[in-house]
Structure 1
Amino acid sequence: MRIGFGVPVSGTWATPQIMARVATRAEELGYDEVWTFQRLLHPAATDIGSAYRSVQDPIVSLAYVAALTSRIRLGVAVLNLPFFSPALLGKQLATLQAVSGGRLDAGLGIGWMEEEFIASKVPLERRGKRADEYIELLRRFWTDDVIEHHGEFYDVVPSRQDPKPETPPPLLLGGGAPAALRRAGRLADGWISSSRMLDDDLPSMIATIKEAAEAAGRDPSVLRFVCRGVTTPGDDTSRLLSGPYEKIREDVEELAGRGMTEIFHDLNFNPAFGAPDADPAASLALAEEAMERLAPAAR
C-alpha cells in the first residue's frame, strides 16, 4: 500500500509557505506521493462544501512543489477534461512531467458542476463520450511526431507538439458511475476514488474496472487503485479514517484489503482545515502531527 498526503490547496492554510512545508516534510517522512485537486468555481448561491470555497490551481501548485522536492511523486486528483483543450492540457502536463523529473501522476475526470461548464463554454451533455476521444488524442500529443485528428468532438490539423515527455505520465481516471469505471478499465492506468466513496462497495467497483480491462485485452493486474482519504484525527470513530491515529492506520489496511493499492490522506476535506475562518498556523500544526503519526515509516 503506497501512502500519500494532500498538498494544502484549499482554505486558509493553502499558502505557498505551508504548501512548501507539507510537501518537503512529506518527502522527509517517506511518503510516496503528494496530491492536489481542482475546483474552478464555487457557486455563489449554492453551498457545495467548505473544501471547495477557495482552491489554488492544481497544476501550478504541483509545479511549485516539484521545484522543492526530488523524490516524491506528484499527483492531481482530478483535472476535469472539458475545461481544457486536449492540446493545452497535453502541453501543460508534458511540461510538468519534464520539470518534475518524470514524477507526475495525472488524474483526469469529466466534471459534474454545471456552473463550471457554463463558465468554460462547453456542454455538460455527452462528456463521457467526449472523454473517450480526448484521452486517445492526449496520448497522441505525447507520442506522435505529427498529430492529425478529425473526430466527433475534436479536430487537429497536421501539427507537431514538442518537446514530448521522455516518459508520458500515467493517466488515472476518476468517477464512480458504471460507465466511468468501465472507461478506467479500458483506457487508463488506474482509478481514483472520490472523497465520498469510502463507504461504497469498493471491491465491486474495482472488479468492474478489471473486467473492462480484461475485455479490452489489457492486463488488469498492473492497474493502480488510489483512494482519496478524508482523514479526520480525533475522537470520532464513526467512519473510516476518523478517530485515533492507530485506528486510522488500521483503516488504511482495511482499504488495502478491499483492493486499493494507494491512499493519500487529504486534510483539505477535513472541516477543521477547510473552514473559511480556520487558523493557518493551527492547521499546519495539526497536519505536521498527522504526517508524523501516519507516515509509512510509522507502520
Structure 2
Amino acid sequence: MEIGFAVPGSGAWSTPANQVTVARRAEELGYHSLWTLQRVLNPAGSDDRTYRNVPDPLITLAYLAGHTARARLGVAIVNLPFYAPPILAKQAATLDHVSGGRLDLGLGIGWMREEFAAVGAPMERRGARAEEFIAALRALWGGDSGDAAEFHGEFYDIPPVTMDPRPLQSPGPPLLLGGASEGALRRAGRLADGWVSSSRADLTGIGRSIDVVREAAEQAGRDASALRFVCRGAIRVRPPGREGRRPLTGSYEEIRGDFEAIAAQGVTELFADLNFDPEVTGPDADPRASLDRALEALDALAPGT
C-alpha cells in the first residue's frame, strides 16, 4: 500500500506557504502522493466548520507542481456537476502538463444543495450525468493531436472539435470515482481507473466497498486487478489506549497498526489527512501549531518507518 499525505486544505492553516512546506517535506520523506479536496461554498449560518477556508484544489495542485518533482498530485474530489466537460478537460490536461504527468483526478457528484443552487446545476439524475461526463472527458482527450472529437448524449452534446494540448498521461489522467452508495461503487468499477473513499467511510469495512467495485469491474469485462483503491485516511492523533477507539484515531503506533489493517482489506493507497481534525482546522486552532502537528505526523507516518 502506497502512503500519501493531504496538504493543508481547510481552516486557517490552509495557506500557500503551509501547503508548500508540507508538500516539500512529504516529498523529502518519500511519500507517494499529495492530495487536495474541494468545497466551493458553505451555507450561511451553518455550525458545521469542517469545510471553511477551502482553496480551489486544482489551482493549489498547479502551484504545488512547481514546488515538487516526484510525488503524484491528487484531488479527492472535484464535483462534476459544477463544470462543463470541456472546461474540466482543459484544466486537467493543462495541470497534467504543468505537473509533468503526475495528476490523479478524483471525481464525484456532489451532495450539498446550496452549492448546486449557487452554481445553477440540477441535483436530479447526478449518476447518469456523471456517466456521460466521464465519456465526454475521454472523448475530448482521445486520439492523436489534431484529431476531431465529438460526443452526443442526453445531457451533453459536443460538436466535432479539437482540444489541445492533450494530457501528458495517455489516454489521460487516472480517473478515481468517489461515492459510497452501491450505485456509485458499481459506476467506479464499470468506468473508472479506481475508487477513492470519503472522510466518513467506515474503515473497518472498507473491504466490502472494494469488493463491490471489483465485482462490477469483472461483470463489465474489465481487469479488476488493475484498479486503484485509495483511502482518505482522516487521522486524529490522540492519547493511546482509548476505549472504543475508531480507526486512525489514537497514537502514531496505533495509527500505523490501522494502516496495516486497512491495507489487508485491499486498499492500494492511503493518504493521511489532518483536514478533518477540529484540533487542526477548527476555528480555535492556531495555524502555526497546526503546521507543527502536520510536520510531526509526516515524520511519524513516513513510508518505511
TM-score range normalised by the length of the shorter chain: over 0.9
Equivalent residue letter for 1:252: F
Residue in structure 2 matched with residue 216 of structure 1 by the alignment: 220
Residue in structure 2 matched with residue 29 of structure 1 by the alignment: 29
Equivalent residue letter for 1:156: I
In the alignment, the residues of structure 1 paired with residue 191 and residue 71 of structure 2 have an alpha-carbon distance, to the nearest angstrom, of 25
Equivalent residue letter for 2:107: L
Instruction: Report if aligned partners of 2:233, 2:271 keep a CA contact under 8 Å in 1.
Output: yes
**Can you list the C-alpha shifts for 1:154-191, whole angstroms capped at 9, x where unaligned?**
01111111110131110000000000000000000000
In the alignment, the residues of structure 2 paired with residue 268 and residue 202 of structure 1 have an alpha-carbon distance, to the nearest angstrom, of 20
Residue in structure 1 matched with residue 111 of structure 2 by the alignment: 112
**Can you list the C-alpha shifts for 1:80-129, whole angstroms capped at 9, x where unaligned?**
00000000000000000001000000000000111111111010000000
Instruction: Report if aligned partners of 1:12, 1:277 keep a CA contact under 8 Å in 2.
Output: no
Which of the numbers 290, 293, 296 marks the counterpart of 2:300? Answer: 293
Judge which range, 202-211 or 231-240, deviates more. 231-240
Equivalent residue letter for 2:21: R
Residue in structure 2 matched with residue 63 of structure 1 by the alignment: 62
Instruction: Report if aligned partners of 2:74, 2:105 keep a CA contact under 8 Å in 1.
Output: yes
In the alignment, the residues of structure 1 paired with residue 10 and residue 124 of structure 2 have an alpha-carbon distance, to the nearest angstrom, of 28
**What does 1:183-222 align with in structure 2 at a 5 Å threshold?**
183-199=187-203, 201-222=205-226
Residue 11 in 1 paired to residue 16 in 2? no
Instruction: Report if aligned partners of 2:203, 2:262 keep a CA contact under 8 Å in 1.
Output: no
Residue in structure 2 matched with residue 42 of structure 1 by the alignment: 42
In the alignment, the residues of structure 1 paired with residue 13 and residue 268 of structure 2 have an alpha-carbon distance, to the nearest angstrom, of 29
Residue in structure 2 matched with residue 240 of structure 1 by the alignment: 247
**What does 1:64-83 align with in structure 2 at a 5 Å threshold?**
64-83=63-82
In the alignment, the residues of structure 2 paired with residue 270 and residue 263 of structure 1 have an alpha-carbon distance, to the nearest angstrom, of 17
Residue in structure 1 matched with residue 183 of structure 2 by the alignment: 179
The 3-state SS of whatever aligns with 1:297 is: coil
Instruction: Report if aligned partners of 1:29, 1:297 keep a CA contact under 8 Å in 2.
Output: no
Instruction: Report if aligned partners of 2:236, 2:277 keep a CA contact under 8 Å in 1.
Output: yes
Residue 279 in 1 paired to residue 281 in 2? no
CA RMSD in angstroms, aligned pairs only: 1.1
The 3-state SS of whatever aligns with 1:52 is: coil
Judge which range, 240-249 or 195-204, deviates more. 195-204
In the alignment, the residues of structure 1 paired with residue 38 and residue 211 of structure 2 have an alpha-carbon distance, to the nearest angstrom, of 27
Residue in structure 1 matched with residue 154 of structure 2 by the alignment: 152
Alpha-carbon offset, residue 277 of structure 1: 2.9
How many residue pairs get aligned? The number is: 297
Alpha-carbon offset, residue 199 of structure 1: 4.0
Q: Whose helix fraction is larger, Structure 1's or Structure 2's?
A: 1
Unpaired segments ≥5 residues, structure 2: none
Instruction: Report if aligned partners of 2:150, 2:158 keep a CA contact under 8 Å in 1.
Output: yes
Q: Normalising by structure 2, what TM-score? A: 0.95
The 3-state SS of whatever aligns with 1:105 is: strand
Identity of aligned residues (%): 57
In the alignment, the residues of structure 2 paired with residue 60 and residue 213 of structure 1 have an alpha-carbon distance, to the nearest angstrom, of 32
Q: Normalising by structure 1, what TM-score? A: 0.97
